Amino acid sequence: MHELYTAPLPEVLCELMRRFYALGWVSGTGGGISLKDPEGGYWLAPSGVHKELLSPDDLFRFEDDLESCTEPKNGGKLTECFPLFQTIFRARGAGAVIHSHSIWTALATRVCPGDFEIVDFEMQKGISGHGVFSPLRVPIIENTEREPELTGALGEALARDERTYAVLVRGHGVYIWGDDWKQAKRHAECYDYLFRAKVELARLGQA
């Protein structure tokens, strides 16, 4: 078994950031991850830092609200994604949330005037509760100047689509979650494939 499966969550978070940076999901200091630990606390990377260079001493830990926040040993500023992560944890009982700035997410929202929809791709099976031959949908919300301003629309999108494990933000990125970091990682990989597939289909004139 790979050592990541038994590593403490702060180390898992830092390692996932390094891997996601290599994929272009958290470059330019954008994007992020929050993980819930078995004691009910949440781990979070600080804002505006190079996500591939994080160490466990850079991470914030909080309980249910900002007042319970434990500052990292290395200082830093709490990410503006905090209320968005919280909205998803509360609405979905998620154990892990990933915010990706992958270029395929931004481009997929450009080729979908309404919500994202795709069908007949094997990778749809990687999203829990979904199969190949019925359409997979992802709500798209409109972008805002500041990340916390997305919170209301994100909550509405979660209420509107009870099957989704992702919400896209137009021209910006996506929030993806799972019961734990392993499921969230699988979802993020499958969704990114499907977002890219949609863009390539449009390029082929088949969208």
- The residues binding Zn ion (CB under 5 A) are 173
Task: Write down the catalytic residue from 63, 71, 117, 122.
Answer: 122
Q: How far is the CB of 172 from Zn ion (least distance, A)?
A: 6
Name which of 88, 80, 79 is nearest 153 in CA terms. Answer: 88
**Residue number with the smallest Cβ distance to Zn ion:** 173
Eight-class DSSP state of 141: E
Which residue intervals of the chain are DSSP H helices? 9-22, 82-92, 103-110, 151-160, 181-203
Q: Which is nearer to Zn ion, 135 or 152 (CB)?
A: 152
Q: Which is nearer to Zn ion, 14 or 174 (CB)?
A: 174
Residue by residue, DSSP assigns 87-139 as: HHHHHH--SEEEEE--HHHHHHHHS-SSSEEE-S-GGGGGSTT--SSS-EEE-
Q: Find where tokens 């609200």 sit.
A: 65
Q: How far apart are CA 193 and CA 84, in angstroms?
A: 23
Q: Which is nearer to Zn ion, 26 or 197 (CB)?
A: 26
Q: Is 122 a catalytic residue?
A: yes
Q: Indicate the residue type of 150.
A: L
Q: How far is the CB of 55 from Zn ion (least distance, A)?
A: 22
Catalytic residues: 122
